[in-house]
Structure 1
């Protein structure tokens, strides 16, 4: 006798039960999948000077390896989105992790900065599968309001990476060559690969009838992109994130060369600043009990823009000492810790069957804007903090302007 609700219904309920029974393990793995990208960025930031010296090039050329990583993530997510919707979540995740491991190992043997820039692009293509897949799996299981809380939990794991990574990177550079940073990343990815394979429950088996023809894929992307809720909140969150990527691109120079910090001091300063996002994302779970994601993200946008303007004014009037810069950047990222989970939850809320494609577009747009922001920091490099702080402030202000415009023009339906 056939099941009255069908195999898909039963499988979804079985997976939901598995998720509830292994909630902590599942959330940890989803967090690690989301964090592999940020960890890959933060771990090697203290090594910019070492890499530049080893390759006999400049720091701004090494910064292009960061830009290429952002471009790779932006491009790669567009590929993974349709694959996640057609073949389910786990298979594309595992393929991506395998690519990442191979690229990380190849970084060990490179002796040319252009090769490293390309390998970082390839490494990004592997890592972005985890970022897209994790967001899609959250959308598979949770309503929009609950998803915002889960995104906050994932940000707790993601937020640990900027605290641990630079310190680990600085410690490794004290005792080992910078190439070993990429060996560490390869081993870490292998552990995540095994955890995903054996411990992560599948949340969506895929739609095998879905076509991967370019016309069909573009049609699905257009269906997502033409949704006003998605487009508005995707852009709000992505433009706000531009400031974070500008900080990642410029912090090594500003803190180590402009303010004169050692690698160990830079690692500690980076960890302190990163803790702002952890604090914010966990407070966000409390505020969601009384306020909507739109309200929280709009207030955080206002805060971030205000801090961005303060940073520019402090630099203009020669008041930007290291303690002042550290605290202002801390408060800037504190605001972003509220913006990311809430704008992501609202942007993805209209989609279920196309969650992979929606997640891919969200990540692609965010990373494309992030790549542009980091590229601007590199292109405008003038031996001062102006490029980094200017791009950070611009991201905060532009995001706030868009949020104000969207407020009365886009209606959301958050469950």
Structure 2
């Protein structure tokens, strides 16, 4: 549903999403730059390397645990106030982690840093959807995704450089500076959209979330978002162990391996921007998931041909990321717009669903990896992608038919 504050995409209105994506880039690079350093960090604190993926899963869990609060707060007090407060909190956490003395303290600060992810998804994305007309919002989200993908492209290489030549501490200093610059840009460029709802009691708040999750059509559309993102998210979490520990790559080789993978995601987003105006909204999702499935199956072939495992894995992951690129922004918009509940609550509901799925998926695959190694990741990815072809696909068909009927009724009037 379009609101009266939605604008068209131009140079002046683009300044807000650019400031937001700088913070999104900081929250992503807070993971992608640090992941290559997790093996040395576990050694530094004298703990098992199997805890390395937990730095990412707890980061995601931290976001899930507070998502229920930030969305409704932004409905009550306005998106801008809540977003600016969250950016400052994330910055402080990045500074405090420099002083940790144990792995427990480190993981606790990673958990608290997860607030940054929630601020982006539950508040920032809602503000973007409200600030732009529908197809412009999809383009803005795709553009933001491309910029934020500098994190997984450059993060592993920069992380490897930090490990070999400086210290992982400097990564968090760099991230804190990025976050502060974003805070200033958001303060200057973010539009002021009046709060949409009055104060709610805790009971009313949870009733709002219950109503959102009770909408089976919305839930079927929303679950497609973790399905399209999780295969690559799992790869980010588990790849240091796979590539460095299991396959014997160096830290630099690990970083270089990721470049074509995330270049595929950028290419997918570019394709989406080019074609989104030509087809009914949602059409690219039907192409994205089959491409992802093809990539996962190609990677699976490498399990049976060990000599070709690395190249087949690289090709498969690149296809997975390309398929995600042409689908993910439309998946978000389709689910977000399908519910008539307050948009802060809707965005927070989607954020909690995503983060919990990400946390659960990473922890499950982390445990399975100790028994089945790389096969655990590849089989899990195939299962996740195949699941979309069941009830989420049917829900998408219903949503597109509903949109088509609404548009035909509007044109006939």
Relative to the length of structure 1, the TM-score reads: 0.90
1:89 touches 1:137 (CA, 8 Å); kept in 2?
yes
Q: Which moved more, 1:377-386 or 1:149-158?
A: 377-386
Q: Which residue of 2 aligns with 1:185?
A: 175
2:383 to 382, 394, 412: 394
Q: Distance in 1 between matches of 2:402 and 2:149?
A: 28
Q: Note closer, same or farther for the CA distance 1:163–1:41 as it changes in structure 2 (3 Å cut).
A: same
**Are 1:113 and 2:96 matched, yes or no?**
no
The CA deviation at 1:162 is 0.9
Q: CA deviation at 1:315?
A: 0.9
CA distance in 1, matches of 2:93, 2:21: 22
Aligned with residue 226 of structure 2, among 238, 244, 259: 238
2:141 to 125, 131, 151: 151
Post-superposition offset of 1:351 = 5.0
Q: 1:16, CA displacement in angstroms?
A: 4.5
Q: CA deviation at 1:358?
A: 1.1
* Residue 367 (str. 1) matches residue 350 (str. 2): no
How far apart, CA to CA, are the structure 2 residues paired with 1:352 and 1:149?
22
2:411 alignment counterpart: none
- Counterpart contact for 1:98–1:126, Cα < 8 Å: no
Matching of residue 58 in structure 1 with residue 48 in structure 2 = yes
**Take 2:311 and 2:42, find their aligned partners in 1: how far apart are those partners?**
28
Q: 1:299 aligns with which of 274, 287, 295?
A: 287
Deviation at 1:319, TM superposition (A): 5.4
Checking the alignment, whether the CA contact within 8 Å between 1:34 and 1:134 is kept in structure 2 is no
Any gaps of 5 or more consecutive residues in structure 2? 408-413
Equivalent pair of 1:96/1:127 in contact (CA under 8 Å)? no
Give the C-alpha shift of residue 92 in structure 1.
0.7
Match of 1:6 in 2: none
Q: Which residue of 2 aligns with 1:267?
A: 255
Q: What SS does structure 1 have at the residue aligned with 2:99?
A: coil
Q: Distance in 2 between matches of 1:360 and 1:248?
A: 24
Q: What do residues 333-390 of structure 1 show as CA deviations (whole Å, max 9, x unaligned)?
A: 1111122101101011135771211111112111111111111121112373122222
In structure 2, the partner of 1:355 is 343
More deviation, 83-92/176-185: 176-185
1:33 aligns with 2:23: yes
Residue 373 of structure 2: aligned partner: 384
Aligned position for 2:410: none
Residues 71 and 121, structure 1, Cα contact 8 Å, conserved in 2: yes
CA distance in 1, matches of 2:120, 2:266: 20
Q: Distance in 1 between matches of 2:326 and 2:208?
A: 29
1:320 deviation in Å?
4.3
- Which residue is equivalent to 1:3? none
Q: Please list every run of 5 or more consecutive structure 1 residues that lacks an aligned counterpart in the other structure.
A: 1-8
Aligned residue for 1:177, secondary structure, equals coil
Q: From 217, 234, 239, give the equivalent of 1:251.
A: 239
Q: TM-score, normalised by structure 2?
A: 0.90
Residue deviations 1:156-200 (CA, integer Å, cap 9, x gap) = 112221112222222222221212222222222111112212232
Aligned match for 1:286, one of 254, 257, 274:
274
CA distance in 2, matches of 1:268, 1:191: 28
Equivalent position to 2:81, from 74, 91, 108:
91
- CA distance in 2 between partners of 1:402 and 1:334 (Å): 23
